[in-house]
Each structure stands twice: as structure tokens, then as C-alpha cells.
Amino acid sequence: MDQFNRRMALAAGGSLGALGALAMVSPARAEPWSWSPEGSVAGGGAGADPLTVWDDEADPLIASVLERGDVPAINAQLRTWTKNGQPLPAGLPSDLRDFMEYARQMPQWADQGKLATAVEFNKKRGLYLGVLYGLASGMMSTVIPKEARAVYYSKGGFDLKDRILKTAKLGYDIGNGNAYGPNGEMVVTCVKTRMVHAAVRHLLPQSPQWKYVAQEDVPISQNDIMVTWHSLPTTVMKHLTAWKVPIPEHESTAFLHSWQVAGHMLGVRDEYIPNSWDQANSQAAQVLDPILAPTPEGADLADRLLSLGANLDLTLITKPVLGSFTRFLLGDKIADELAIAREPVWDPLLRFSWGPFVAVREGLLPVVPLAPDAYWLFDEFLRQAALVYLAELKMPISIELPVANRDMSRPHR
């Protein structure tokens, strides 16, 4: 049952949180870039503003692939490549194959011991991670303006659920027991996602709707990826700490390390990847916290996200309950900006009872100061939130290169 719950949590976390899962963009920074590369896993670097850096290894190659018309055949090949240790499909163009062989290599600083410890952390905290990846990280992505606009106007904005399921693999795969091992899928997912990012950089500037609202000429800079990166592990650890969940230091470090490796595999330069939680919090305070703001596109995406469970026969996965959890996790300011209604029952219940609920689950309170019904509600919510996407994540999910932007003349799904 614990294994089942963990799988459900990771599924839900990846699915709900996937809207922002290292995929898109954010607005220009209010202050000049000042974070020092000495605080990175590289220990140094040129110090260039990551807003001016993209992916000079993947971008020209994928642009060429798109211009050559090779994408349909390549996508057919990529569907057969699913495991980290699996050879690349033989039918790939030679230039793409050479890049993928290079891109699939783990960084020299990857620590297999820490990655194994991260697996244990995910086992213990899977249910919390599911809710946090989904309703903290995922909903936060809708108030990262450049990210919201890029998702909205790219192909993923048409069929949001399909978009979520595809990017859900990132959140699910990183928490899986063999994430970076030969039988895992995290390396494959990162390489494919990196190529999708490059495709969007080529395609999105061709969208007249996106160009009209965009604050940049090319989307998904290194800064933008790190903004979304911080909406995931940095935000998750911030909440776990606030909830006083007891986490041994070596597990906390290992969890961070698994995401450091993910950043590298997604094409982020090592000089932008923080080497500690202190450095992560410092960087997030500059690139993430000040730029959160509503947009019409983000409000639409948020409303659609909260409505995804509306047609399911589940007691607690309703739009009002999901909205209340979003308000609890992200605060009144963001919830109000997203036009999330206040809930007279769930809002105060979460505010006053979630802390004792976590304490009970963690064995920190000798006497349960929480009504059994409230405890059941919270535990059942965790279970149902994970269950929403579990069945669909069992289906083959293929991350594929887009060939066009969203057709704005068609209603979304």
C-alpha cells in the first residue's frame, strides 16, 4: 500500500505540477543579475546574465531538424526510446543522434550514493511531494508571466491535459526508484524535454499572438528554466520546512542533488545550478519571488487546471477544494490574483488544522489534537489527488517534438 500511495503521489505531483515542470519562461528581472557562480555546482563561471543565454548546443540543431521536415519521422523513432540504458534508435539522423549521445551523459559530479538516498526520501515523503509539486509548484507556474504566456500560445495550450501528462513524466520519473539508472527513464525524459524546449524556441517567435505579448524575442532562457526549477525543489523544501517535517540533512542534500542533476540534463549550465539550499534560496529570492504576477493567460490556465478533476467521481478533488489548497499553499495574494474564490469551510480548516495533521502523521504529537473527520479528510485528499492521474500515467506517454504553435482559432480542449 505504501508503494501504491507513493506512485500515486508522484503521478499527481508530476501531472498537476507539470505545467511548470522545467518547461517554459518568466518575465524580465527587476534587478540586474548578481548571483555569483561561485555558489554553483561548477564553483565558478563567466557570470553572464542567464536571461541572455539559451542552449547553443541544442537550438541550432533542432531548428535545422524542423526546417528539414524531419520531425514526424524522428518522433516515430523517439517513441521506441524509453529507458536510460537503451541504445538510441538506429533510424535517427546522424547529427541528432550524435547530440543525443552527448546529452544523455550524466555530469561528472553526479553522486550515485546521493541519488540512491533521494529515492529513499521520495519513498518517505511521496504524498507530500504530490500535493506540493501539484498545487504549489504547478499553480505557481500560472503566475510566472512568461511561463504562462509561453504555455498558453504554444501547442500545449490547446490541449492542456495532454500537455500536463507529457510533462508529468518529469515529476514522476525523478521520484521513481531507478530514476537515473539503466532501467529508469529520467535521462530519456530530460533529453527529450531539452529538445522540446529548443523546438519551442524556434517555433514560438513565429506566433503573432505570442509576439504581441512577449517581453523577449526568444523564450526559455537559462534564467527561465531556473525560475521554473525553483518553483519545484526550492518551493517544495520551503514548505516541508515550514510544516516542520523532520528531514535528516543527508536526505535533504540528496533531494537537492537529484534536481541538480536534472537541471544539468535539461541543458542548464552548471554555473547556474545552486550547490546548496542556501544558494538555491538566494538565487530564488532574485529570479523567482519578485516576478510572480497575474496575466490573463495565466488566469485561464489556472482555472483550467483547477477544473481538471471536475468530471471525476471523487469526493474531494473538486474545484473549490483544489482552490482552497492553492490558497493555503501560495497565499491570499496569488489566490486572489488568480480569482480563486474563498471557501468558508476548507480555508480555515487548512489554516488551523494542517500543521497538527502533519505533526500527527510524523509522530510528533503524542496526543491527537485533531478531529478524526478532519484527519480523514486530509489523508483522503492526499490519496485522491494522487489517484486523479494514476491511470493515465500508466498509459504510454510520449514526449515529442512539436511542429507548430497553438492554432488560436480552435477552442481549447
Percent above pLDDT 70 for the chain: 80
pLDDT at 166: 59
Angle at 150 between CA 327 and CA 147, to 5 degrees: 40
346 and 368 Cβ atoms separated by less than 8 Å: no
Most confident segment among 11-15, 288-292, 365-369, 409-413: 288-292
pLDDT higher than threshold 90 for residue 200 = yes
- Cell 492542456 belongs to residue: 160
Q: Where are the domains of the chain?
A: 1-24+45-397
Greater confidence (178 vs 117) lies with: 117
Q: What is the mean pLDDT of the chain?
A: 83
- Give the ranges where 70-219 is alpha helix by DSSP (H): 71-78, 94-103, 112-131, 139-140, 145-153, 160-174, 186-203, 208-213
pLDDT higher than threshold 50 for residue 111 = yes
pTM over 0.75: yes
Residue 163: closest CA among 314, 389, 391, 410: 389
pLDDT at 174: 87
Greater confidence (393 vs 36) lies with: 36
